[in-house]
Structure 1
Amino acid sequence: MPKTEKRSMSWLLQYLKPVKGRLALLMVMLLTSTGLQLLNPQIIKRFIDTAASGGVLSNLFQLAGLFLVVAFVNQLITVAVSYLGNDVAWRATNRLRGDLLKHCLRLDMRFHNVKTPGEMIERVDGDVTSISNFFAMFIVQVVGSFVLLAGILGFMFSVNVPIAIVMTVFTLLSILFMVFIRNLGVNSSKNEREASASLFGLIEERIAGIEDVQANGHVPYVMNRFYRTMRVVFQKGRKAWLLRVIPWNTTVILFALAVTAVLLLGVHYYMQGIISIGTLFLIYQYTQMLNDPIEMLGDQVQEFQKAKSGMLRSRELLSLRSEIENGREDQLPEGPLGLEFKQVNFSYNEDKPVLQNINFAIKPGERLGIIGRTGSGKSSLSRVLLRLYNLDSGTIRVGGTDISDLTLPALYRRVGMVTQDVQLFDGTLRDNLTLFNQDVSDQIIKETTDRLGLSHWIESQPAGLDTHLKAGGSSLSAGEAQLFALTRVFLTEPSLVILDEPSSRLDAATESMLQSAIDQLMKQCTGIIIAHRLATLEKVDQIMVLGDGKVLEFGAREELASDPASHYARLLFTGREEELA
Structure 2
Amino acid sequence: MEKEKVNSGNIVDFNVLRRLMRFLKPYKGRFFFLIFLTVALGILAPVRPLLIQVTLDKHVAFGDYNGMVMMIVILIGLLILQATVQYLHTYLSGWLGQYVIRDIRVQLYEHLVKLRLKFFDNTPIGRLVTRTISDIETLADVFSQGLAAMMGDLLQLLFILIIMFYSDWRLALISLSTLPILLVSTYIFKEKIKVAFNDVRNAVSNLNSFVQEHITGMSIVQIFGSEPREYDKFKEINREHKRANLKSVLYYSVYFPVAEIISAAGIGLLVWYGAKGVLHEAITGITMGKLIAFIMYIQMFFRPIRMIADRFNTLQLGIVSSSRILKLLDNDEHIPNDGKYTPDHIDGAVEFDKVWFAYNESEYVLKDISFKVKPGETLALVGATGAGKSSIINLLNRFYDINRGTIRVDGTDISDFELSSLREKIGVVLQDVFLFSDTIFKNISLGNDNITKEQVMHAAESVGARKFIERLPGGLEYNVMERGSTLSVGQRQLISFVRAMVYDPRILVLDEATSSVDTETEELIQQAIDKMMTNRTAIVIAHRLSTIQKADKIIVLDKGEIMEVGTHEELLSKNGYYTQLHKMQYKEII
Shorter-chain TM range is 0.7 to 0.9
Deviation, 1:126, is 1.9
Deviation, 1:508, is 2.0
Bigger mean CA deviation after superposition, 71-80 or 127-136: 71-80
The 5 A counterparts of 1:1-12 are 5-12=13-20
Aligned match for 1:199, one of 195, 201, 207:
207
Q: 1:398 to 1:235 in 2, by over 3 A?
A: farther
Q: Which residue of 2 aligns with 1:448?
A: 459
Alpha-carbon displacement from aligned partner over 1:445-467 (angstroms, at most 9, x marks no partner): 23333344433333222112222
Residues 414 and 496, structure 1, Cα contact 8 Å, conserved in 2: yes
1:479 aligns with 2:487: no
Matched residue SS, 2:483: coil
Counterparts of 2:178 and 2:376, CA distance in 1? 82
1:143 aligns with 2:151: yes
Residues 183 and 305, structure 1, Cα contact 8 Å, conserved in 2: no
Counterparts of 1:78 and 1:303, CA distance in 2? 20
Matched residue SS, 1:472: helix
Q: Which residue of 1 aligns with 2:304?
A: 293
Give the AA of the match of 2:25: K
Counterparts of 2:562 and 2:261, CA distance in 1? 76
Deviation, 1:112, is 1.3
Counterparts of 1:364 and 1:26, CA distance in 2? 63
Residues 12 and 319, structure 2, Cα contact 8 Å, conserved in 1: no
Bigger mean CA deviation after superposition, 206-215 or 228-237: 228-237
Counterparts of 1:554 and 1:81, CA distance in 2? 73
Q: 1:200 to 1:172 in 2, by over 3 A?
A: same
Aligned match for 2:515, one of 495, 504, 512:
504
Residues 178 and 298, structure 1, Cα contact 8 Å, conserved in 2: yes
Counterparts of 1:113 and 1:128, CA distance in 2? 23
Give the AA of the match of 2:471: S
Aligned match for 1:328, one of 323, 336, 339:
339
Q: Which residue of 1 aligns with 2:7?
A: none
Q: 1:351 to 1:246 in 2, by over 3 A?
A: farther
Alpha-carbon displacement from aligned partner over 1:257-296 (angstroms, at most 9, x marks no partner): 7545544553343232113212211111111111222223
Q: Which residue of 1 aligns with 2:575?
A: 565
1:279 aligns with 2:290: yes
Counterparts of 2:349 and 2:196, CA distance in 1? 55
The 5 A counterparts of 1:220-259 are 220-233=228-241, 255=263, 259=267
Deviation, 1:363, is 0.8
Residues 116 and 334, structure 2, Cα contact 8 Å, conserved in 1: yes
Q: Which residue of 2 aligns with 1:94?
A: 102
Deviation, 1:468, is 2.3
Aligned match for 1:489, one of 500, 520, 527:
500
Q: 1:576 to 1:180 in 2, by over 3 A?
A: closer
Matched residue SS, 2:337: coil
Q: 1:402 to 1:243 in 2, by over 3 A?
A: farther
Counterparts of 2:130 and 2:37, CA distance in 1? 34
Matched residue SS, 1:312: helix
Deviation, 1:334, is 2.8
Residues 194 and 313, structure 2, Cα contact 8 Å, conserved in 1: no
Deviation, 1:83, is 3.0
Q: What's the C-alpha RMSD, in Å, of the aligned pairs?
A: 3.7
Deviation, 1:367, is 0.8
Aligned match for 1:528, one of 506, 522, 539:
539
Counterparts of 2:179 and 2:31, CA distance in 1? 27
Q: 1:99 to 1:253 in 2, by over 3 A?
A: farther
Residues 153 and 168, structure 1, Cα contact 8 Å, conserved in 2: no
Counterparts of 2:320 and 2:96, CA distance in 1? 21
Q: Which residue of 1 aligns with 2:3?
A: none
Give the AA of the match of 1:388: F
The 5 A counterparts of 1:173-572 are 192-233=200-241, 255=263, 259=267, 262-273=270-281, 274-322=285-333, 324-331=335-342, 334-350=345-361, 352-560=363-571, 563=573, 565=575, 567-568=577-578, 571-572=581-582
Alpha-carbon displacement from aligned partner over 1:186-227 (angstroms, at most 9, x marks no partner): 677556534432222112111111122123221222123223
Deviation, 1:77, is 4.7
The sequence identity of aligned pairs, in percent, is 28
The 5 A counterparts of 1:144-159 are 144-159=152-167
Bigger mean CA deviation after superposition, 151-160 or 489-498: 151-160
Deviation, 1:252, is 6.6
Q: Which residue of 2 aligns with 1:37?
A: 45
Q: 1:496 to 1:28 in 2, by over 3 A?
A: same
Counterparts of 1:218 and 1:235, CA distance in 2? 26
Counterparts of 1:329 and 1:545, CA distance in 2? 34
1:133 aligns with 2:132: no
Q: 1:368 to 1:64 in 2, by over 3 A?
A: same
Alpha-carbon displacement from aligned partner over 1:521-547 (angstroms, at most 9, x marks no partner): 322421111122223224421112222
Alpha-carbon displacement from aligned partner over 1:280-328 (angstroms, at most 9, x marks no partner): 1111111111122222322111112211211221222222221643343
Residues 430 and 510, structure 2, Cα contact 8 Å, conserved in 1: yes
Counterparts of 2:207 and 2:11, CA distance in 1? 33
Q: 1:543 to 1:4 in 2, by over 3 A?
A: farther
Q: Which residue of 2 aligns with 1:21?
A: 29
Unaligned runs of 5+ in 2: 1-9
Counterparts of 2:250 and 2:419, CA distance in 1? 49
Q: 1:475 to 1:20 in 2, by over 3 A?
A: farther
Deviation, 1:556, is 2.7
Alpha-carbon displacement from aligned partner over 1:377-404 (angstroms, at most 9, x marks no partner): 2222212222223334333222222334
Deviation, 1:413, is 2.5
Give the AA of the match of 1:218: S
Residues 335 and 525, structure 1, Cα contact 8 Å, conserved in 2: no
Count of residues paired in the alignment: 579
